[in-house]
Structure 1
Amino acid sequence: MSDIDADVIVVGAGIAGLRCAAALHRRGLTARVLEADTAPGGRIRTDVVDGFRCDRGFQLLNPSYPAVRRHVDVDALDLRTAGRGVRVVDGSGRSRTLADPTRHPGLLAATVRSAVGLGLVRPRAVVGAARWALPALGPVRRLESAPDAALAADWDRLGVRGPLRESILSPFLSGVLADGVGDTSDRYVRLVLRSFLLATPGVPDRGMQAFPEQLARAEGVDVTYSARVERVTDGAVPEVGVADGATLRARAVVIATDASDAADLTAAATSPMRGLSTWWFDADGLEPDAFLRISGAGGVVVNTAQLSAIAPGYAPPGRTLVEATTLLGDAGPAEEAAVRAELTRLWATSTASWRVIVHHDVTRALPVQAAGTPLRRPLRTGERVLVAGDHRDTPSIQGALVSGGRAAAEVARLLS
């Protein structure tokens, strides 16, 4: 075919699209990536404002993910890890620390006191937590094939109740999953738990966008930016219509966008998406603290952290950058006054002087992984059109990388 623009056109320069393009190149196929935005990363972007690096949504990179170990130069990213544990703040503002003693031996006594004070050492609570968590340490294949249920329902069945659930697991996981009601697949949540147990997540010192920028520099990855795709036509020689009026032709097309855009461009059934809001503050009056904070007493803020204490490159010298994440539902984002009031309690200091650097409402933060949803979904949507992304595998960086590689392998078989 001499009248094609590339063997494969990849729509979207997010994690799945970039991984797909690199894998296609290794298989001897040319790929052209079309990206609507002006930089790679999709939902992973970093805004630099007044010298502060503010990610669009509080995101972490887990070096334990197999696909990250295989395809990402983590050392080159200068990954900075958070404290291995959490600080749980009650309704009166009292903070209790739960830290991994193997990483933070000096906090062992404080962790034991906190566990007792929070009621975590009650026999029934310990047994219920162990019954739920221990399978996460077993073989991945066994986890993937296990019966599935909604997280909240499985906790009920196993007896995960009381302070462990209400003050720690629910608030922590609601920020990780963008799920405030426990509808997410328990099978998937155990995979998430496994990744946290194996390694401590972190952020590149130059912001999360350094990660997709590294993928975009891989050999054979050719990205055209500001190229919004408006239509994809399947067939023996599929066509891609771009907003500037151009029509590109290829031997195959991979649509590596988020679930909503993939549904708009194809007839494929995709997952709905959940939203998160993230506030970034130029804060003062805080001692450096690299631990994530969660509320053990409810409230709008599902997590908050000093990014400048975790990764100094996120803030100018001598300044403090604090993020606060809230769920974003049909009612819209939380009011700034409510966020500030929560942060006053969580950090035990007035936030009146804290300046809002930027506020991101990420309406498409994560695909919904409902109970019973397969952990791996078909990619083909037509004769020569495929979809890829974290909505085809697990809603995670691991899922996006795996999906991009799967799409490249399937395209290679299709075109052989």
Structure 2
Amino acid sequence: MKKDADVIIIGAGLAGLTAAKLLKAAGKSVLVLEASDGVGGRVRTDEKDGFLLDRGFQVFLTAYPEAKNLLDYAALDLRTFDPGALIMSRDGITKLGDPLRQPATLLSTLFSSAATFSDKMRMLRLKLKLGKKSIEEIFRDEEITTTEYLKRAGFSGTIMNRFFRPFMTGIFLEEQLSTSSRMFEFVFKMFSEGDAAIPAKGMGMIPKQLAECLSANELLFYQNVSAVDEGLVTTASGATYQADFVLIATDPLRSPIRYGNTAVKFHSVSNMYFTAKQRPFEERLIALNALAGKLVNNVAVMDSISSAYSKNGDALISLSLIGDHSEANEKDLQEEVIAELKFWYPDAVNWKHLKTYHINYALPNDDHVSNEPEPNAIRLNAQCFVCGDYLMNGSINAAMKSGRLAAEAIINTMR
């Protein structure tokens, strides 16, 4: 059978596209098969009625080491959030900033009821501590839950409930903060050492940039792979492709190869978009809902960060609801969200619903994480390799690193 490429890559998410880019740079021929209609996997941006909608609220941390090496930040035209957050509580809204990076926020931060003065000093010490700690050291440390880590660090219940829990819930997509303390330290370090940003034209510009190296003949869409047998790949429609090596770059739920009977653990999220004539707030910050039993965890006004998200100038409001809400009645869910948010934003009753995304597999479970895949995890057999953030930790950085490591392993095998 005629060979279609040196390497067939199944999945055009960040891991697969990173591998494709590096394999091509090494002179290897590739064929990327993607089941959907576009690149990006869990990092995609749609356009609807003149608005740019990321599929799930996400931010890009510019301090990610893999991204620094593989992406052209200038071409992405990154637009940054200000460090800190707006805290929504029964007392109203208060601002918690980062005076080290934005001295003008010193007073609002000092007087914020979201944390005690001791908490603010502990936060400063934590930033300084992690600034001196390498990523390798972070992932070698003892693993405990994030909740236990913050308790051991002496943080009060006030800052736990009003800042850390809603902030980290929005990142980890789980409310108990059972996520590994290694992941907390890594993420906190990345936030402290770089910016939280979005490309001006949406998060989907990241995978599109990675895919620029691929021609139309090297990237095929609507290719739902059903079987992999050594170097032979078969799709659900019956098409077959042959290569020396196959790289499976899907999440484990969509992999054509099953990994025994082990249940795949993951976190879900629902992302709702509303439009409004006026922004609920003008700050370039994420608003965190600190109430117990809440429905909405965080709010972001996307056009405040990048005007390209809204062609007509109306506000584009992104809301994150942690967990699986796909079975809820859509109209009832919208009404519940507005009823909750109008406490802080009375004009929410006039917001217009635009679209809701229910994302089943949004992040892998990160109760146990690493910065390197387990030995032999990348290579399943002589001809089949795998990559994906779930092999290490749920992040853009890990997705890209896993793609790089898989590409390097294949290149070394071909020598």
Match of 1:307 in 2: 302
- Among residues 215, 221, 228, which one is paired with 2:224 in the alignment? 228
Shift of 1:367: 0.7
Match of 1:288 in 2: 282
Match of 1:356 in 2: 353
Per the alignment, do residues 308 and 126 of structure 1 end up closer, same or farther by CA in structure 2, a change over 3 Å counting? closer
Per the alignment, do residues 33 and 270 of structure 1 end up closer, same or farther by CA in structure 2, a change over 3 Å counting? farther
Work out whether residues 324 and 358 of structure 2, in 8 Å CA contact, stay in contact via their aligned partners in 1: no
> Which letter maps to 1:335?
L
- Among residues 153, 156, 175, which one is paired with 1:180 in the alignment? 175
Q: Residues of 1 paired with 2:247 and 2:413: CA distance?
A: 12
Q: Residues of 1 paired with 2:86 and 2:325: CA distance?
A: 29
Per the alignment, do residues 408 and 161 of structure 1 end up closer, same or farther by CA in structure 2, a change over 3 Å counting? same
> Which SS does the other structure have where 2:223 is aligned?
coil
After TM superposition, the structure 1 = structure 2 runs for residues 108-127 of structure 1, keeping only pairs within 5 Å, are: 108-114=106-112, 117-122=113-118, 125=119
Work out whether residues 43 and 56 of structure 1, in 8 Å CA contact, stay in contact via their aligned partners in 2: yes
Q: Residues of 1 paired with 2:406 and 2:335: CA distance?
A: 45
Per the alignment, do residues 342 and 330 of structure 1 end up closer, same or farther by CA in structure 2, a change over 3 Å counting? closer
Match of 1:56 in 2: 55
> Which SS does the other structure have where 1:188 is aligned?
helix
> Which letter maps to 1:359?
T
Work out whether residues 145 and 181 of structure 2, in 8 Å CA contact, stay in contact via their aligned partners in 1: yes
Per the alignment, do residues 242 and 69 of structure 1 end up closer, same or farther by CA in structure 2, a change over 3 Å counting? same
Match of 2:102 in 1: 104
Unaligned runs of 5+ in 2: none
Match of 2:338 in 1: 340
Instruction: Please list the CA deviations of residues 137-173 of structure 1 after superposition, one character each: whole Å capped at 9, or x if unmatched.
Output: 2122211111111212333334333111111001100
Shift of 1:374: 6.8
Instruction: Please list the CA deviations of residues 99-132 of structure 1 after superposition, one character each: whole Å capped at 9, or x if unmatched.
Output: 2235433332222111xx334213xx45765676
Per the alignment, do residues 70 and 53 of structure 1 end up closer, same or farther by CA in structure 2, a change over 3 Å counting? same
Instruction: Please list the CA deviations of residues 70-114 of structure 1 after superposition, one character each: whole Å capped at 9, or x if unmatched.
Output: 11011111111112110111124x111112235433332222111
Work out whether residues 87 and 114 of structure 2, in 8 Å CA contact, stay in contact via their aligned partners in 1: no
Q: Residues of 2 paired with 1:15 and 1:270: CA distance?
A: 24
- Residue 160 of structure 1 pairs with residue 158 of structure 2: no
> Which SS does the other structure have where 1:180 is aligned?
coil
Per the alignment, do residues 403 and 119 of structure 1 end up closer, same or farther by CA in structure 2, a change over 3 Å counting? closer
Shift of 1:375: 4.7
Q: Residues of 2 paired with 1:143 and 1:352: CA distance?
A: 45
Instruction: Please list the CA deviations of residues 179-212 of structure 1 after superposition, one character each: whole Å capped at 9, or x if unmatched.
Output: 1111111111110111000112111111111111
Shift of 1:349: 2.3
TM-score (norm 1): 0.91
- Residue 297 of structure 1 pairs with residue 295 of structure 2: no
Work out whether residues 375 and 394 of structure 1, in 8 Å CA contact, stay in contact via their aligned partners in 2: no
Shift of 1:336: 1.9
Work out whether residues 241 and 248 of structure 1, in 8 Å CA contact, stay in contact via their aligned partners in 2: yes
> Which SS does the other structure have where 1:265 is aligned?
coil
> Which SS does the other structure have where 1:107 is aligned?
helix
- Residue 244 of structure 1 pairs with residue 237 of structure 2: yes
After TM superposition, the structure 1 = structure 2 runs for residues 7-406 of structure 1, keeping only pairs within 5 Å, are: 7-92=6-91, 94-114=92-112, 117-122=113-118, 125=119, 129=123, 135-137=129-131, 138-218=133-213, 222-234=218-230, 238-262=231-255, 264-267=256-259, 271-286=264-279, 287-298=281-292, 299-329=294-324, 332=327, 335-346=333-344, 348-371=345-368, 375-377=372-374, 378-406=377-405
> Which SS does the other structure have where 1:163 is aligned?
helix
Work out whether residues 260 and 272 of structure 1, in 8 Å CA contact, stay in contact via their aligned partners in 2: no
Identity %: 28
Higher mean alpha-carbon deviation, 242-251 vs 9-18, is at 242-251
Per the alignment, do residues 200 and 373 of structure 1 end up closer, same or farther by CA in structure 2, a change over 3 Å counting? closer
Q: Residues of 2 paired with 1:165 and 1:356: CA distance?
A: 32
Q: Residues of 1 paired with 2:102 and 2:387: CA distance?
A: 40
Per the alignment, do residues 144 and 265 of structure 1 end up closer, same or farther by CA in structure 2, a change over 3 Å counting? same
> Which letter maps to 2:165?
S
Q: Residues of 2 paired with 1:372 and 1:178: CA distance?
A: 15
> Which letter maps to 1:136?
L
Unaligned runs of 5+ in 1: none
Q: Residues of 2 paired with 1:75 and 1:126: CA distance?
A: 34
Work out whether residues 6 and 249 of structure 1, in 8 Å CA contact, stay in contact via their aligned partners in 2: yes
RMSD of aligned Cα (Å): 2.2
Work out whether residues 279 and 323 of structure 1, in 8 Å CA contact, stay in contact via their aligned partners in 2: yes
* Moved >6 Å (runs of 4+): none
Per the alignment, do residues 271 and 155 of structure 1 end up closer, same or farther by CA in structure 2, a change over 3 Å counting? farther
TM-score (norm 2): 0.91
Per the alignment, do residues 101 and 374 of structure 1 end up closer, same or farther by CA in structure 2, a change over 3 Å counting? closer
Q: Residues of 2 paired with 1:291 and 1:89: CA distance?
A: 12
> Which letter maps to 2:31?
R
Work out whether residues 279 and 360 of structure 1, in 8 Å CA contact, stay in contact via their aligned partners in 2: yes
Number of equivalenced pairs: 405
> Which letter maps to 1:204?
P
Q: Residues of 2 paired with 1:207 and 1:129: CA distance?
A: 31
